[in-house]
Amino acid sequence: MNPPILIFDSGVGGLSVVRALRAQLPGAALAYVFDNAALPYGTKPDDWLVARIVAVCEAAVAASSARALVVACNTASTLALDALRQRLTVPVVGTVPAIKPAAALSRSGVIGLLATSATVCRPYTDRLIDQFAAGHTVVRVAADALVAQAERLIAGESLDPSVLDAGLAPLWAHPRLDTVVLGCTHFPLLKEALAARAPRPVQWVDSGDAIARRVAQVIGELNGQGHDDPQPVWSTATVSAGLVAGLARYGFPAPLRLSLEDG
């Protein structure tokens, strides 16, 4: 079997990156791992998260014999990329909030960063803003409740419009804001629903295509073999029938259980 590219997230957010990867690398075999036992990551302490992320990724890279790991999670990438690169021998591609393209797109110079509580206040995010959005106003909005809404969407459950509205509300207090960074991989899955709740049109920017381009560079080919190979999935806790159906819509089978050394 052709070694897959392994995509990792706390939950279904990585599926937004899978979409971009399949468009960019239609021949590449993919595998997916999600840490639903620890979902959500965005409200957990940093030290605990680093150890957890390394343990899950190490176990999943071994189980999948992956040729590369895509950390399809801003919360994990802004914290644990160095630790992952120290521990793993395969190339690791991370996800960081799309501050740079958003700053380039904004005409008003006021952009929103919609992400988890962890991501909005990380030093990594501060550095991205200093480097790529100096002179812009960046409105940071922690919207952890939207993570569960994206999980609901993929599991075929209805969204709660009041949760979407409350998540977005702090953005609309800035009348000149014209661009919103979807700085959590769960959020592009909700893009249509979020745009429908917006009181005025804004540009929604995510990192999916940029990650896929980076993976293509790292893999060094545009059309790998193995399209028909099985596309295994691992989870760290049981999943609902709705989520199994949601994964199937993305071409994935029901998850296997990932065993972690520390249980």
Catalytic residue from among 73, 133, 138, 190: 73
Q: What string of H, E and C letters represents the secondary structure of 65-133? A: CCCEEEECCHHHHHHHHHHHHHHCCCCEECCCCCHHHHHHHCCCCEEEEEECHHHHCCHHHHHHHHHHC
Contact by Cβ (8 Å): 214, 144: no
Taking contact as CB under 6 A, which single stretch among the options 61-69, 71-79, 125-133, 237-245 is the one that binds ligand DGL?
A: 71-79
Cβ–Cβ under 8 Å, residues 41 and 118: yes
73 among known catalytic residues: yes
Please report how close the Cβ of residue 143 comes to ligand DGL at its closest, in angstroms: 10
Q: How far is the CB of 112 from ligand DGL (least distance, A)?
A: 16
Size of the site for ligand DGL (CB under 6 A): 17
Within residues 36-55, the interface with ligand DGL by CB under 6 A covers: 39-42
Exactly one of 24, 36, 64, 75 binds ligand DGL (CB under 6 A); that residue is 75
Q: How far is the CB of 44 from ligand DGL (least distance, A)?
A: 8
8 scored as a contact of ligand DGL (CB under 6 A) = no
Kindly tell me the burial class for residue 47, based on how many C-beta atoms sit within 10 Å of its own C-beta (0-12, 13-18, 19 or more).
exposed
Contact indicator for 93, 215 with CB cutoff of 8 Å: yes
147 scored as a contact of ligand DGL (CB under 6 A): yes
Least Å from the CB of residue 42 to ligand DGL: 3
Cα separation, 182 vs 209, in Å, equals: 13
The reply to whether 106 sits near ligand DGL by the rule CB under 6 A is no
- Buried-exposed string 160-191: b where 16+ CB fall within 10 A, e elsewhere: eeeebeebbebbeeeeebbbbbbbbbbbbbbe
Order of strands, edge to edge, in the sheet holding 203-205? 137-142, 110-115, 179-182, 203-205
Restricting to residues 177-206, name those near ligand DGL by CB under 6 A. Answer: 184-186
Closer residue to ligand DGL in complex, CB, 75/149: 75
- Tell me the closest approach of the beta carbon of residue 233 to ligand DGL, in angstroms: 16
Please pick, among 168, 184, 189, 258, the residue that the annotation labels catalytic. 184
The answer to whether residue 184 is catalytic is: yes
Is the Cβ–Cβ distance between 73 and 10 less than 8 Å? yes
Residues that bind ligand DGL (CB under 6 A): 9-11, 13, 39-42, 73-75, 116, 119, 147, 184-186
Q: Which residues are catalytic?
A: 73, 184
